[in-house]
Amino acid sequence: MPEFPYSRLRRWPDVEADNLQAYDATDLLLVERALALSTDAAITGDEIAVIGDEYGAVTLALIDAGLRGIRVHQDLATGRRALERNAEELGLTGFHAHELHAELLAGARLVLLQLPKSLAELEQIADAVARWAAPDVQFVAGGRVKHMALAQNEVLAGRFDLVQAQRAERKSRLIVAGGPLPVPDEPPFPVVVQHEGFALAAFGGAFAGARIDIGTRVLLDVLGSGALRASPGAASPTVIDLGCGTGALAVSFALAHPSARVIATDRSAAAVASARATVAANGLVDRITVTHDDAASELETAGADIVLLNPPFHLGASVHTGAATRLFEAAARLLRPGGELYTVYNSSLGYRAELSRLVGATEQLHRTPKFTVTRSIRRG
């Protein structure tokens, strides 16, 4: 059988750069282990679930090897689109996309996972596998050694009787778990925490969990101090929380401005599920729409009066400003002429000039040694 052409895989529509690729050694180890297990244990493609396959390297390599019917869960909208695009480019079919629900895992005898950064996300995934997969499931999780910790083994040991770390290869390592332990009646997520003025709900993969992260807190304080214009373009302004996370900005704004039409959007499925749970916890289901999308690509151009943004500065484990730039470009597309973008970012990144170039005149509203808040007015 010819070797799978990993080098043909692309990250698109995610950021692409010379130092970013669409696969790593962990993907190769997961594929090698899956192919060996599929032969030794007679596991068929429809008994395999793949979680966290960022751009499709694991899924498509297994399909190329003859396994069909693989179930896949990817958190990011960009990853889902990249998988579809890569499959089309290589002429491969034979996978089905699912959310992190029972349909993904029911009857699965082999679950492959690219280890997430968050222990809470790993806890949610481990609970889901133990809760819904087959009793004889083999759960194989892998990651880059430099990003792995013993705490990951401990999380898996909370849901599986047998957890064995394998020898490191090519700077990656696999952890194999089996023997699901009894699970509680209710899944451990979402977690709901009451903050001053509103509640936040979070699933395991949501950034900052049910806490208000520091940057969001700074932006909330600035908006609450009167920085927002008294007449933001309309009696019932359309407001977009771009990269909404758990929905703190969207909910806070909706509670403070009852006439506003608020849309919260994020590329992370865990964030979207969390934001929807947050919206429900605050009784705002009729006033806030939450969408899973890549940089709000499906929202109306020039339809927003206000955009709220706390952009990421990481792409996976890499520090990269490309993610923020894509969101600045998205904000420029979403805002009507004269509309306002409120952004909080790490002061060291100095985004003001880029915001002025991509969106319009930008002024600093607040600055601390760690965070800066700006207002950009969309040029006509």
If pLDDT is split at 50, 70 and 90, which confidence band does 127 have? very high
The token pair at 75 is 């958190």
pLDDT at 316: 46
Query: Which architecture, in CATH terms, is 191-377?
Result: 3-Layer(aba) Sandwich (3.40)
For domain 6-180, the CATH superfamily is: Vaccinia Virus protein VP39 (3.40.50.150)
Q: What's residue 350's pLDDT? A: 86
- pLDDT tens, 223-279? 998 777 644 556 789 999 999 999 999 999 999 999 999 999 999 999 999 999 999
Give the dihedral sign, CA 222/224/225/231: positive
Identify residue 153 by its one-letter amino acid code: N
Q: What is the pLDDT of residue 229?
A: 66
With cut-offs at 50, 70 and 90, classify the pLDDT of residue 323.
confident
- How many angstroms from the chain centroid is the CA of residue 75? 5
Please tell me the predicted confidence (pLDDT) of residue 197.
94
Q: What are the backbone angles phi and psi of residue 251, rounded to the nearest 5°?
A: -70, -45
321 pLDDT higher than 90: no
Using CA atoms, how far residue 272 sits from 93, 206, 325, in Å, is: 27, 9, 21
66/228 Cα distance (integer angstroms): 57
CA distance 129 to 329: 38
Report the C-alpha gap between 341 and 22 in whole angstroms.
32
Report the range of poorest mean pLDDT among 122-131, 227-236, 293-302. 227-236
Decide which of 242 and 324 is more confident: 242
Q: Summarize pLDDT for 108-123 with one digit per residue, the tens.
A: 999 999 999 999 999 9
Parse the chain into domains and list their residue ranges.
6-180, 191-377
Q: Do domains 6-180 and 191-377 have the same CATH topology?
A: yes
> Tokens 């952890």 — which residue?
175
Kindly tell me if the per-residue pLDDT of 163 is higher than 60. yes
Cis peptide leading into residue 5 (ω within 30°): no
Q: Is residue 2 very low, low, confident or very high in pLDDT (cuts 50, 70, 90)?
A: low
Q: Which two tokens stand for residue 337?
A: 């002429």
**Nearest in space to 373 (alpha carbons), one of 215, 208, 211, 214:** 215
Q: pLDDT category, 10, cuts 50, 70, 90?
A: very high
